[in-house]
Structure 1
């Protein structure tokens, strides 16, 4: 598939091996673009967004689409498109909670994040600047 050099996308089925595959695909794109700034943060957020899509946003028999783009000023944008009706909440989980930290981590690590509409489903996205004041 011919893709714009600074944009990549891939489709993943509703299966557990899709999360590491999405992470590896993202690592390949970042390496191709020589985008090493905040690489670990980006990869962790891809894992969290992909996991949330599988657990809450992808109905049986469907999948999710991962979009990765290098935007102006070397901002990396990640989008996970799903076709489910699940809602998105990034409230801090309680200290005894066994789940619910995924979007809380995304909110803490990404410079920006949000949710957009899609018919059917939604798009959960996050962005990372190459250099963010106050981050090392």
Structure 2
């Protein structure tokens, strides 16, 4: 990160291993975007939060544990979404299987966000995506 860039806002929350947590994480994100005056690309951000939270619940959060959603905004306007989980597992983007019921979440994140990635933590991992002010929404 550029040394001139600083953290402007941050918000974080823990969510239990419960399917309802995805909707609650999305609601927090919607409120945060409004609080921070970020109206552009809100639908893309909300979809990415849904996908990352769902993946954490399905593949990364062991029973009895939580996942953490972190939202940050830097002074250069970059919004970063991070989902932390404590489970093992490798994150990979599968090739599309058109008749499968799942497996498209990270494909969507890679198409909608301006960048995304994974980093290890102990225990578990962090899957993140970023939205830059000059980034383009998908052409639909």
Q: TM-score, normalised by structure 1?
A: 0.92
| Other-structure match for 1:27 | 30
1:52·1:102 contact (CA, 8 Å) conserved in 2? Answer: yes
| Other-structure match for 1:11 | 14
The answer on 1:116 being equivalent to 2:122 is no
Q: Aligned pairs, how many?
A: 133
| Other-structure match for 2:82 | 79
Q: CA deviation at 1:106?
A: 0.3
Q: Distance in 2 between matches of 1:64 and 1:45?
A: 15
Stretches of structure 2 that go unaligned for 5 or more consecutive residues are 1-6
Q: CA deviation at 1:134?
A: 7.7
CA deviation string 1:78-126 (max 9, x = no partner): 0000000022111232111111000110001000000011100000000
1:93·1:99 contact (CA, 8 Å) conserved in 2? Answer: no
The SS at the match of 2:76 is helix
| Other-structure match for 2:3 | none
| Other-structure match for 2:110 | 107
| Other-structure match for 1:131 | 134
Stretches of structure 1 that go unaligned for 5 or more consecutive residues are none
For the aligned residue pairs, the C-alpha RMSD in angstroms reads 1.6
* Cα 1:82/1:30, change in 2 over 3 Å: same
1:116·1:123 contact (CA, 8 Å) conserved in 2? Answer: yes
